[in-house]
Amino acid sequence: MSTRRDTTMTAHDRHASLSLYRVASATLLGLVTLLALPGLTSAQYSDEYRTRGTSPERFDWQLHIGPYTPYVGSNAFRDIFGGDGGPMLAMELDTHIVRIPYVGPLGIGVRGGWSRYRARACSVSTDGSPDCDNRADEKEKFVLLPVSILATLRVDVLARELNFPLVITGKLGLDTFFWRSRRGGSSQGSGRSLGMRWGVMFALELDFIEPRAARRLDEDWGINHSYLFVELYGSLFGTSIPMRDAFTWSAGLGLSF
């Protein structure tokens, strides 16, 4: 009798242990599922983001700001305006003509800028030459309006093929500088100058900061990428009165669409 009771209790204990094991296993599986669900959802979205194609890229728009000090063929500008570096404000629109495989799009662009320089006018010495050590009460103003036609090569293979958000753009083209000089309320002169221009732009695409927002911009507005950039550039020479700055830089915000 005692042996049978012990056997019955042992079987009961085993059944209870098995039930407890099943409950614990189910609970653990549920917890693991709940913990893994956000990661699975994120991974699914990431896979969808990679597999969906973006809209075609046809244009680039950029807003530039940076220093610009023209060299007008002598020290006259520096004598009058000192170290005034502008700044130069500019906008640029590039269009993509053809895409070179594993390199990037080749295109053309147009850029327009504006810069103004102000200082107290130099007085005139007894022999008629300017005396910038002694300043008059009148203001001297010099306005520069450059317009550029550019050929561009946008190397985006790192961003498109290797998921590294760096784009490098080379630029070469023609500058036309329109300028105007005023002293007080009267015009001192105006004209234009032509020159060659070069530039290299380094852009950091911002899509990786918030991929969902980048996707919405593309779907709603056709903006493929937004980026911050720094451009190194210069004007090589000028006709008439040269307006070149052999080496300077600009920075700003750009959009691809």
Is the alpha carbon torsion for 244, 249, 255, 257 positive or negative? positive
What residues does 112 pair with on adjacent strands?
Answer: 91, 147
pTM over 0.85: no
Answer for the pair 182, 141: CB distance below 8 angstroms, yes or no: yes
> How far is 254 from 257, CA to CA, in rounded Å?
10
| pLDDT averaged over 10-residue windows placed end to end, the chain, 257 residues | 42 47 49 43 42 78 94 71 86 98 97 92 73 78 94 96 96 94 81 91 96 90 95 79 78 97
